[in-house]
Amino acid sequence: MSHKKARHSWIGHLTHEIRLRLSRADGLLPLSLIGLLTGLVAGGVIIAFRLLVEGTQASFLPGGLSENYEDLPLALRFVLPIIGGLLIGIIFQLQAKGLFTLGVSHVLERLNYHQGYLSLRGLLLQFFGGAVAIISGHSVGREGPNVFLGAASSSLVGQALKLPNNAIRTLVGCGTAAGIAASFNTPLAGVIFALEVVMMEYTLASFMPVILAAVSANALSILLFGSAPAFTLPELQLGSLKELPLLLILGVAIGSIAALYNHMLQQLTLRSRHMVFWQRTTLAGFLVALCSLAAPEVMGLGYDTVNSALLGELGLGLLLSIIFFKILATAFSIGLGIPGGAIGPTLVIGASIGSLIAILADQFYPGFSSNIGFYALLGMGATMGASLQAPLAALTAILELTQNPQVVMPGMLVIAIAGLTSSELFGKGSLFLGILKASGLDFRADPIMQALRKVGVASTMDRNFHRLGHITGREKAEKLLSQAPEWLLITKDGSPVAVMPAIDLARYLQESEESEIDLMEIPARRSQVTSIHLQATLQEALDKLENSGAETIYVEHSTAPGISHVYGIITRDHIESAYRY
């Protein structure tokens, strides 16, 4: 029995030491290994989601094709999105308990306000709600659900292991990268997306775990679905430098349309947030159904439409129709609360715009433009980059999709022009941050907050302290001071009430002969205290100081129900030192 107890104690000590190491910004090795694990977990969940969606679509769509909504009977094409919207509304109304916003925006919200803690309820709602949305033909992508499912899976792993909050934040980035990597077989784009859009930082401590998560999730996806690219791509390259003016026109056009796309989504989110949720989603289904009557290509993911645009198979009239109704249908779907992704539709819209401009250029100046598919591809990257304000992720995605370095220079130009047009000419930032603001929230991404979020309180706290009741005897105080503590945590009725430097007590003992001392009455520098959990980050500690009015924090952890152990002391100076040095 004693052997088992000793082994349990050893394991508990080792686990505690690993958690303390993870609380530091340099806890790279254990965090990387956990990142690898979470990539496998996230990849498994994402694969299950894709199997559910594609298996269901193949069971009822004509020809067993997962994207063939165009060949559905007109009545079924009309009623399907309405039924899907109503079903989503009922599921969320009964089970959401106020959790009506999912996808990438919700991941950003949880990172900003809740240290990356995502719930099992949210994961299940996204899994089944996202599946219903795509299957019923709503104009949404699977990338948003995949990102949320990956992030939630990774966050739940971190919570189950009771990791410090700074590590859980990194695991959310790991799950995000896994979601993008498994969507398109683009692991590097997944990494860049996670760092550029979600975590908004580039550090070695973030890179390594996120890379391993993307690789492991992508490996699982390849094992099951193969390594074929998501889209069929012809041989693509820029014909000559004389096409640069056309690339500039393409960038400005896409930046303008991306700004319109973002604006419509944000306005619908803002104006509909007070509606009853099931009414919003049912209305979304009805409006998407109307759009599908005019352009059935807007239904579902639209990857078949992207392929047709890349191969130059779509005419001018059809391209115009797809662009117009895809923007409307997506704005109705996402803006009214359908739990799908907004990234996939940008690829459809961008490919259509690129094809349209290439066809028009060829009609007015025959032989002037390169292959239509080349402009469709550039349009995909530019619309994604401008809408999300994520130029590196967009450029990496088109590079990985083509495996052709010839697209890099023109891709950089078009993506940069489109991003500048959207942000500087029309004042539109990231789509996801815009949706957050329309929902009454915001996202702080300044350098100080980023630095504090990466470090746990456990790595910065001062452990050189002693607890002492506010009434103490002289002999006990002298014996305690012989151990040279830095701080004294003063308690009253068993609860901490103040912190004072131990040197102040030592000075008082030299000047006084009292046998009984009241630590709350003697001349000393005492500071009001508040508590924080051992898993917290320094950003949480700073927020706690500012919101509570306290000057010092004691770090505690529950070792048993109703029993807490104090591990250390945090002052404002400790926090400032962490982000200065």
Task: Report d(CA 431, CA 138) in Å as an integer.
Answer: 19
Copy the structure tokens of residue 519: 């630590």
- 336/115: higher pLDDT: 336
Per-residue pLDDT reduced to its tens digit, 185-222: 888 888 998 888 888 776 666 788 999 999 999 999 88
pLDDT band at residue 249 under the 50/70/90 scheme:
very high
Residue 2 has pLDDT above 70, yes or no: no
Ramachandran category for residue 498: left, alpha or beta (phi over 0 → left; psi -120 to 50 → alpha): beta
Q: Identify the pLDDT of residue 537.
A: 83
Non-local (6+) Cβ contacts of 338 within 8 A are 85, 88, 133, 138, 140, 281, 284
Residue-level pLDDT at 10: 44
How large is the average pLDDT for residues 167-196? 88
Paired strand residues for 569: 462, 554
Q: Give residue 7's pLDDT.
A: 46
Q: In the predicted model, is pLDDT for residue 255 greater than 80?
A: yes
Interval 352-362 mean pLDDT: 90
Contact 373, 362 (CB under 8 A): no
Query: What does the alpha-carbon distance between residue 366 and residue 384 come to, in Å, rounded to a whole number?
Result: 29
Q: What is the pLDDT of residue 460?
A: 82
Closest CA to 487 of 581, 553, 543, 577: 553
Percent share of the chain, pLDDT over 90:
30
pLDDT at 68 over 90: no
Segment 223-237, tens digit of pLDDT:
888 777 666 666 666
Q: What is the pTM of this model?
A: 0.79
Render the burial of 470-484: b for 16+ CB within 10 Å, e for the rest. Answer: eebeeeebeebbeee
Across 291-314, average pLDDT: 88
Read off the pLDDT band of 284 (50, 70, 90).
very high
Neighbours of 390 (CB within 10 A): 26
Residue 11: how many CB atoms within 10 A of its CB?
Answer: 10
Cα angle, residue 168 at apex, residues 162 and 169 outer, rounded to 5°: 160
pLDDT surpasses 80 at 580: no
Statement: residue 16 has pLDDT above 70: no
Residue range 277-287: average pLDDT?
92
Domains of the chain, start order: 2-76+98-232 (1.10.3080.10), 243-438 (1.10.3080.10), 456-580 (3.10.580.10)
Q: Is a pLDDT exceeding 80 seen at residue 330?
A: yes
| Residue whose C-alpha is closest to residue 22's, from 216, 169, 200, 207 | 169
Distances (CA, A) of 263 to 58, 269, 292, 324, 346: 35, 10, 22, 15, 14
Report, as an integer, the average pLDDT of 559-572: 78
Cα gap 27→461, rounded to integer Å:
16
Q: What is the pLDDT of residue 8?
A: 43
Q: What confidence category does residue 12 fall into, taking pLDDT thresholds of 50, 70 and 90?
A: very low
Answer whether residue 240 shows pLDDT above 50.
yes
Residues 6 or more apart whose Cβ sits within 8 Å of residue 177: 39, 150, 187, 190, 191, 193, 194, 210, 211, 213, 214, 217
Residue 536, pLDDT above cutoff 50: yes
Query: Tokens 């490919």 identify what position?
Result: 351
Compute the distance between CA of residue 558 and CA of residue 561 in angstroms, rounded to an integer: 7
Sheet holding 465-469, edge to edge: 465-469, 487-492, 495-501, 527-533, 552-560, 563-571
Whether the predicted pLDDT of 333 surpasses 80: yes
557 forms bridges with which residues in the sheet?
565
pLDDT score, position 327: 94
Residue 349 has pLDDT above 90, yes or no: yes
Name the pairing type of β-strands 527-533 and 552-560. parallel
Mean pLDDT to the nearest integer, 134-156: 91
- Over residues 359-401, the pLDDT tens digits come to 998 887 766 566 888 899 999 999 999 999 889 989 998 888 7
Summarize the confidence of residues 117-129 as an average pLDDT.
91
Q: Which three-class secondary structure string do you get for 142-208?
A: CHHHHHHHHHHHHHHHHHHCCCCHHHHHHHHHHHHHHHHHHHHCCHHHHHHHHHHHHHCCCCHHHHH
The predicted-structure confidence for 503-534, as pLDDT tens digits, reads as follows: 888 888 888 878 888 888 888 888 888 888 88
Mean pLDDT, to the nearest integer, of 537-565? 80
For residue 23, what pLDDT band results from cuts at 50, 70 and 90? low
Confidence of residue 482 (pLDDT cuts 50, 70, 90): confident
Q: What backbone phi and psi angles, to 5 degrees, belong to 139?
A: -85, 75
What pLDDT, on a 0 to 100 scale, did the predictor assign at position 446?
60
Tell me the backbone φ, ψ of residue 122, rounded to 5 degrees.
Answer: -65, -40
DSSP 424: I
Q: What pLDDT score was predicted for residue 562?
A: 65
pLDDT band at 6 (very low <50, low <70, confident <90, very high): very low
Query: What is the structure's pLDDT at 22?
Result: 66
Bigger pLDDT: 241 vs 49: 49
Closest CA to 466 of 515, 519, 538, 523: 519
Higher pLDDT, 408 or 227: 408
| Averaged pLDDT score across all residues of the chain | 84
- Decide the pairing of beta strands 465-469 and 495-501: unpaired
User: How much is the pLDDT for 287?
Assistant: 95
Contact indicator for 428, 179 with CB cutoff of 8 Å = no
